[in-house]
Amino acid sequence: MKEDTFLKKNEECTITIEDMGNDGEGIGKYQGYTLFVKNALVGDTVRVRAMKCKKNYGYARLMEIIEPSPYRVEPKCSIAYQCGGCTLQHLDYKEQLHRKQKKVTDCIERLGGITEGYTLYPIIGMETPYYYRNKAQFPVRKNKDGKVAIGFYAGGTHSIIDTEHCCIQAKENEDIIRVIRKFLEEENISIYDEETHKGLVRHILTRVGFVTHEIMVCLVINGKDLPVKEKLIEKLKEIPGMKSISLNVNKEKTNVILGDKVIGLWDKSLEAEGTEEDNSAMIPYITDYIGEVKFRISPLSFYQVNPVQTKVLYEKALEFADLRGNETVWDLYCGIGTISLFLAEKAKQVYGVEIIPQAIDDARENAKLNGIENAEFFVGAAEEVLLEKYRKEKIYAEVIVVDPPRKGCEESLLDTIVAMAPEKVVYVSCDPATLGRDIKYLSSRGYELKKVQPVDQFPHSGHVETVVSICRVDS
């Protein structure tokens, strides 16, 4: 049965934006009825058109800004309003930080049930909140005129905004996209079609080392090989910093960007050595640093996309862990071992857990790369591995670090943490809502929130990272 609402689709009204949602959308009320409006800001008075109306709330399109918010600024990027990547570029950066700090506080108080007894530090933003992403994934399609379109998806769609410039991606991408676009057009390479599942080139993946300045390019293809690839390799090699060129095979009819198979095409280190080794058998990679720790990064590696703020985030996690050198530390959801290797410098022993085998392979390799011998890594679900090691091998921990996905920690994992009774839990969160929920759970089982540090990992988006220190009450 269709829900009735007094505001109908395509009706227009004027509202004042009073709050902002998780993705940066404006929230206002029309005669008590809540409307979510993309590109509207707190303090805006706007004319909107209802697009989707439910019983208690609806979604509306911004038609006119009658009176702009005092925080509204002109976006640096010309396609900011169309692209789905930056949802807050039109909001003054200081106000972005203020909204994110408020978001963290609200979730801790409302969902965590904690209003006092902890220290909340001011959010750490970026001095220059542009060109900070070291990884980019560009979809490749044909536009209506039959020309090659490379760029980004428009918000909430699979329509591509054709562009070579992005204000939050590494600047090196502009040269890469120009070279690949020219190659695809001149050689008449077939382009993937989502509807028919035909065509070859699907995506372009790039990674840039912000410290080493090494560049990786990986073309995602719906096939076994790329025609006349030697021509593309020769052109890409001319770009300063180019280190690795590869193909990723993804023949599935899916929205998942990468497949499991990577084929190496060219690697600068092999060329420099003059080796006759078959490039296709190599594992393509670049290296980069977070602080003093060196990481080897392949096309399939998970690696934080903002290296500047990642260093800030991990240094804060290390500070909150307050290690003295005699502790056993568990790093849960460890990825390729980024936090683990930071912790290993100060701890007696670090154990990392991650469910993705490829990530654990990378973690072990990165430990070797840095000569770190006191870090051991396990493949599996964090809640299962930790419970097994605790029950069967009686492994305890003085400190446990968790860096879960947006859904937060499994309740069974929190139960095992409580049973192990570490002195400290350092929680690195990418979602304040699930952070608040998990803080409440631990707080009711003998733990106390002590410190909260928000970090702006993704400027111009609605996301915020947070590091918190949670201590056992009797420790």
Structure confidence by residue, pLDDT tens digits, 167-190: 999 999 999 999 999 999 999 999
pLDDT for the residue 145: 84
pLDDT for the residue 4: 60
Q: Do 244 and 270 reside in the same domain of the chain?
A: yes
How would residue 22 be classed by pLDDT, with cut points 50, 70 and 90?
confident
Is pLDDT above 70 for 3? no
Residue 44 sits in a domain of what CATH number?
Answer: 2.40.50.140
Asked if residue 85 is part of any domain, the answer here is no
Q: Do 107 and 228 reside in the same domain of the chain?
A: no
Q: Do 330 and 467 reside in the same domain of the chain?
A: yes
Is pLDDT above 80 for 278? no
Residue 404 sits in a domain of what CATH number?
Answer: 3.40.50.150
Structure confidence by residue, pLDDT tens digits, 284-318: 899 999 999 999 998 988 888 999 999 999 999 99
* Of 53, 83, 86, 430, catalytic: 430
Is pLDDT above 50 for 107? yes
Q: Please provide the average confidence, as pLDDT, over all residues in the chain.
A: 92
Structure confidence by residue, pLDDT tens digits, 415-436: 999 999 999 999 999 999 999 9
Structure confidence by residue, pLDDT tens digits, 360-381: 999 999 999 999 999 999 999 9
Q: Do 262 and 139 reside in the same domain of the chain?
A: yes
pLDDT for the residue 280: 58
pLDDT for the residue 1: 37
Structural domain containing residue 412 = 96-128+306-472
How would residue 460 be classed by pLDDT, with cut points 50, 70 and 90?
very high
Structure confidence by residue, pLDDT tens digits, 343-353: 999 999 999 99
Is pLDDT above 80 for 270? no
How would residue 327 be classed by pLDDT, with cut points 50, 70 and 90?
very high
Q: What is the pTM of this model?
A: 0.91
Q: Do 284 and 312 reside in the same domain of the chain?
A: no
For range 457-472, the mean pLDDT? 96
Is pLDDT above 60 for 111? yes
Tokens at 250, concatenated: 């993804």
Q: Do 231 and 145 reside in the same domain of the chain?
A: yes
Asked if residue 300 is part of any domain, the answer here is no
Residue 178 sits in a domain of what CATH number?
Answer: 2.40.50.1070
Asked if residue 82 is part of any domain, the answer here is no
Structure confidence by residue, pLDDT tens digits, 204-215: 999 999 999 999
Q: Do 161 and 252 reside in the same domain of the chain?
A: yes
Whether the CA torsion 441, 442, 444, 448 is positive or negative: it is: negative
How would residue 474 be classed by pLDDT, with cut points 50, 70 and 90?
confident
Asked if residue 4 is part of any domain, the answer here is no
| Least confident piece of the model among 38-42, 269-273, 466-470 | 269-273
pLDDT for the residue 281: 59
Q: Do 350 and 260 reside in the same domain of the chain?
A: no
Q: Do 29 and 159 reside in the same domain of the chain?
A: no
Asked if residue 447 is part of any domain, the answer here is yes
pLDDT for the residue 279: 61
For range 14-29, the mean pLDDT? 92
Is pLDDT above 80 for 74? yes
Q: Do 120 and 52 reside in the same domain of the chain?
A: no
Q: Do 41 and 163 reside in the same domain of the chain?
A: no
pLDDT for the residue 284: 86
How would residue 144 be classed by pLDDT, with cut points 50, 70 and 90?
confident
430 carries an active-site annotation: yes
Last residue of a domain, one of 254, 288, 322: 288
The more confidently predicted of residues 63 and 279 is: 63
Asked if residue 324 is part of any domain, the answer here is yes
Count: domains in the chain: 3
Asked if residue 263 is part of any domain, the answer here is yes
Asked if residue 83 is part of any domain, the answer here is no
Q: Do 466 and 335 reside in the same domain of the chain?
A: yes
